[in-house]
Amino acid sequence: MPLDFTERPDHSTAYAHGIATANPTHAVSQQAMCDLMAESSRIEARRLKRLLGVFPNAGVKRRYSARPIEELRISHRWPARNACFIETAETLLAETNQDAIAQSGLEPVDIDFVVSVTTTGMAVPDMSARQVGALGLRPDVRRIPLYGFGCAGGVTGLAHAAVIARAHPGSHVLLQFAELCLTLLDPTTDSPPQLIASALFGDGVASVVISTEGPGLFSIGTGHEQILPDTHTVMAWGPGEGALEMALGLEVPTIIKTHLGTVAGAFTDRSGVALDSVDAVFAHPGSLKVIAAIEESLALPEGTLADTRAVLENYGNMSSVTVLFILQRALNKGFTGPFVMSAIGPGITAALLEGEVAGTA
């Protein structure tokens, strides 16, 4: 049966029935990461001293790493880094996938599609193929990898998985995210963007089960994603000597201030949902400067992005995974009502998605 991505008007809503998140076991404080980069970086001393000021001002107190701090000090070559990604992601995803499937009242054999989102590692066969045996998924499960969305992947992943569910009513879609950003860390870097990235990023995974069968934990409505003009080199990954290296332009917050409001207007036109009509905005943080740019461009009231700030502080920027942590945090606190999720990633891609957590009767 060929894949069908046509949205059905009679099944306009998809529902998430289980959501699970996890981190590797190694906690790394912001001070420990700062000390690591101060000791190891090849950036010129006076410039390095100035750049290290980003650490106390990044809004991150700790993150979790697939590698202990002792191994982070070693500048591994790409094969070793990617092997760490595959091994850790496979183990953690087996845990979160099992949890999300169990929350949904399903068995692994009930899963019809697996959508896999990552930007920080490469696996052939992909991570979904590796979960077939680990979870006991059907060998004929249909697998769809989404690679390269970066931080926008949390919102775009949910949106694309919901499209698949709506196009195949009654099917069950397992959506898995794996981002082990610190496997790419090179402590001997002479690149300022790489050093700034080390102050922000952390490792995590997440899983969600989606179908058209309601009511579920929350509904997933209309999504909108838009590439901003002439920005594809501003935020990107590219091959370095030992790993992928980040290109991260200082103009990112300014670009967000300039364009995100227009993208939000297009989202409202498409979905009929205005941001001032929802009870919460769950925004991928990026950094504190990015959070401030989002608040300004969307005219958000003070405190709207409290959960965003809390997740950044305690887990760092986990790329696509982060917005799932933010949503789960709100759910654990008993949030109900309509919401909008937003994220910014390479492209530059701006993505928004509307949903709702129904209250209990």
- Chain segment 121-156, per-residue pLDDT in tens: 988 999 999 999 999 999 999 999 999 999 999 999
Backbone dihedral angles phi then psi of residue 54, each to the nearest 5 degrees: -70, -30
| Six token digits for residue 99 | 């949890």
Q: Which amino acid is at 192?
A: P
Q: Residue written as tokens 């595959």?
A: 86
Distance CA 356, CA 337 (A): 5
Backbone dihedral angles phi then psi of residue 25, each to the nearest 5 degrees: -85, -15
Report which of 303, 313, 345 is spatially closest to residue 152, judged by C-alpha positions.
345
Alpha carbon distances (Å) from 304 to 133, 294, 296: 42, 11, 12
Distance CA 285, CA 294 (A): 9
Distance CA 308, CA 282 (A): 7
Give the residue with greater pLDDT, 215 vs 207. 207
* pLDDT confidence band for 243 (50 / 70 / 90): low
* pLDDT confidence band for 186 (50 / 70 / 90): confident
pTM: 0.93
pLDDT reading at 352 higher than 70: yes
Give the start-to-end residue ranges of the domains of the chain: 9-211, 218-357
Distance CA 171, CA 217 (A): 17
Q: Give the CATH superfamily of 9-211.
A: Thiolase/Chalcone synthase (3.40.47.10)
The DSSP code sequence of 62-97 is: EEEESS-HHHHTS---HHHHHHHHHHHHHHHHHHHH
Backbone dihedral angles phi then psi of residue 57, each to the nearest 5 degrees: -110, 10
Whether 9-211 shares its CATH topology with 218-357 is answered: yes
CATH 3.40.47.10 fits 218-357, yes or no: yes
Q: Which of 44-48, 71-75, 118-122, 256-260 has the lowest mean pLDDT?
A: 71-75
